[in-house]
Structure 1
Amino acid sequence: MTTKAVLFDFSGTLFRIESAESWLRAVLAEAGASLPEPELVRTAEALERAGALAGGALPSEPPAGELAELWAFRDRSAEQHRAAYTGLSRQVSLPAPELHDALYDRHMAPGAWEPYPDAVEVLGALRDRGVAVGVVSNIGWDLRPVFRHHGLDPHVDAYVLSYEHGVQKPDPRLFTLACEALGVAPEDTLMVGDDRRADGGAAALGCAVHFVDHLPAARRPDGLRPVLDLVG
């Protein structure tokens, strides 16, 4: 196979969200609110268990009732995405009710995300080799500012985001849209992601698939470099 394009997932693949504790601290500071240190740590842990930080840990217990349906299809629209994550957040008590929306807004800030250490290097090397690059993400908001802020945007040829199309991975239609945007056939395309179910959906089209470990950035300094060997 001659690889003409590589599709990358966003969260857990090219970028990693900040820790739940850093996330909560930033929001409290912006709002001029505070919690005693032990309570702040406990609250951050509770938010993490709830799965309230998009890009962070999944809920420790499956959402129930109306929240379960929102959660299942959270990446199909911006409204569902916000409702799902603020719904999870509201399971945890905060000093003021408006902080739940503030937490959601914070996770969209470019500063809340850190690129994996080898992301710029790998994307730049693909660009030098003439390999097209696309980003295919299950998400409820525009991640392009994150790429621009961290200097990765010049290496990306197309963004295919679930909420913009009302389709979420592993639905093959999202990968089809990405291949069409890059002008490549699926059999000439490699999909790179951290979620075997969602990102593995590209295999149904005939794309090759490569998985990376969803780890904190400091613990995965070179997890993307094998992509360059796969491309050849």
Structure 2
Amino acid sequence: MTGELRAVLFDSGGVLIRPIGGRWNPRADFEETVLGYDPTITPERFAGAIAAGEAFFATSETTPDYDDYHRVLLRHLGLQPTPALLADLGREVPATSVLEVFPDVVETLEELRRRGVRMAVVSDAWPGLPEAHAELGLGGYFEAYAISAVLGCRKPDPRMYRHASDALELRAQECVFVDDDPELVAAAIELGYVGRALCRDGAVEPPGVASITALTEIIDLF
């Protein structure tokens, strides 16, 4: 490895995995599940509820409780968030039915591991992320997880980045942070981390923040 770099801290969504169908929240089966309780709900009402859920996320200091998030959507739809309905919306489904791994991820992780690079995840996510990664074939690569719903804060809160590097017992300058949100990369750089913004699929490369267009390019740093 070159320089001081010894580890990669990865964001998960948009860097390692993506939702099948393109929507993170609510889950892809949300409409189908709700229509089983009230078949009169229109696409326009669903769209309004989803927008209300996005606003709820935006004003939350951390990733909110899954049931609390669903309560916001259901109340916007005029439905009572009964225990049965909440349980149905939160039922476990195979990760492979709603998520997929980006094509360049496994080869990148394999090569980094071969080179002795340590790896962790820093993600604004719910607590089940490590299990989802394992189902998707990513288990065993990451030594630590900094998950917003567990830590009670979200990026760019310094605690998110530092939880991961502290778990690896490494200094900030020994870690490169990779995220598809350039602002979160810039926040990591201000804390002393090396940063790379991942700009896949022709996304505009951000000014002032070093970027890569494929995850495999991170290998060149080691």
Give the TM-score, by structure 1 length.
0.71
- Report deviation, 1:227: 1.2
Q: Is the 8 A contact 2:15 2:198 kept in 1?
A: yes
Work out whether 1:202 is the aligned partner of 2:206: no
Work out whether 1:164 is the aligned partner of 2:155: no
Deviations 1:134-188 (A, max 9, x none): 0011123221111110111111111111222223211112211211111211111
The corresponding residue for 2:218 is 227
**Distance in 2 of aligned mates of 1:50 and 1:204:** 32
Residue type of the partner of 1:73? E
RMSD: 3.6
The corresponding residue for 1:9 is 11
- Report deviation, 1:73: 1.6
Picking from 41, 50, 61, the partner of 1:73 is 61
Residue type of the partner of 1:167? C
Q: Which runs of 5+ in 2 are unaligned?
A: 202-212
Q: Is the 8 A contact 2:200 2:214 kept in 1?
A: no
Residue type of the partner of 2:5? T
The corresponding residue for 1:185 is 171
Matches within 5 A, 1:87-106: 87-88=72-73, 90-92=75-77, 99=85, 102-105=88-91
Work out whether 1:28 is the aligned partner of 2:32: yes
The corresponding residue for 1:18 is 20
The corresponding residue for 1:46 is 47
Report the CA distance shift for 1:48/1:24 in structure 2 as closer, same or farther (over 3 A): farther
**Distance in 1 of aligned mates of 2:18 and 2:200:** 8
Picking from 124, 132, 140, the partner of 2:118 is 132
Describe the SS at the equivalent of 2:178: strand
Per residue, is there more helix in 1 or in 2?
1
Residue type of the partner of 2:139? D
**Distance in 2 of aligned mates of 1:47 and 1:117:** 33
Q: Which runs of 5+ in 1 are unaligned?
A: 53-58, 216-221
Q: How many pairs does the alignment contain?
A: 205
**Distance in 1 of aligned mates of 2:167 and 2:34:** 39
Report the CA distance shift for 1:149/1:205 in structure 2 as closer, same or farther (over 3 A): same
Q: Is the 8 A contact 2:49 2:76 kept in 1?
A: no
- Report deviation, 1:204: 2.3
**Distance in 2 of aligned mates of 1:212 and 1:179:** 20
Describe the SS at the equivalent of 1:125: helix
Give the TM-score, by structure 2 length.
0.74
Deviations 1:84-123 (A, max 9, x none): 35414542467x96556644556x7513111111111111
